[in-house]
Amino acid sequence: MQNVSCSRQALHLALLGVAVGACAGAISIAFRRTIELCHTLTLPSAGFAAADSTLRFALPVLGTAVAVCVLKFVADGPVPTGVPHVLERLRAAGGRLPFRNAMLQFVAGSLLLGFGMSMGREGPAIHLGAASGSIVGSRLALSPSSLRILVGCGVSAAIGAAFNTPLAGVILAIEVILIEYTVGGFAPILLAALTGAVLGRLVYGDAPAFHVPALVPGSLLELAWLALMGLAAGAYSAGFMKLTSALLRRTRSMPWYGVMMAASVGVGLLGMIVPEILGVGYDVIQRVLDDEYGVIAVALIAAVKLVATAACVGARVPAGLIGPTLVMGAALGGVFGTLGTTLVSGGTSTSAFYAMMGMAAVMGATLRAPMSALVAVLELTGNPHVILPGILAIVTASLTARHVFGCDSVFAIQLRDLEAACREPLRRAM
Q: How high is the pLDDT of residue 221?
A: 72
Whole-number pLDDT of residue 348: 62
With a CB cutoff of 8 Å and minimum separation 6, the contacts of 141 are none
Q: Give the CA dihedral 133, 36, 212, 328, nearest 10 degrees.
A: -80
Complete domains list, the chain, with CATH = 7-204 (1.10.3080.10), 220-419 (1.10.3080.10)
Report pLDDT for 426. Answer: 37
- Measured distance CA(88)–CA(179) in Å, rounded: 13
Q: Terminus-to-terminus CA distance in the chain, angstroms? A: 54
**In whole angstroms, how large is the CA radius of gyration of the chain?**
21
Regions of the chain where pLDDT drops below 70: 1-6, 216-219, 344-348, 423-430
Buried b (16+ CB within 10 A) or exposed e, 164-181: bbbbbbbbbbbbbbbeee
pLDDT recorded at residue 162 = 87
CB 278 within 8 A of CB 118: yes
pTM: 0.94
Helix (H, G, I), strand (E, B) or coil at 76: coil
Residue 381 CA to residue 212 CA, distance in Å, equals 6
Task: Quickly list DSSP for 227-287.
Answer: HHHHHHHHHHHHHHHHHHHHHHHHHTTS-HHHHHHHHHHHHHHHHHH-GGGSSS-HHHHHH
Contact between 14 and 188 under an 8 Å Cβ cutoff? The reply is yes
Q: Given this model, what pLDDT does residue 4 score? A: 54
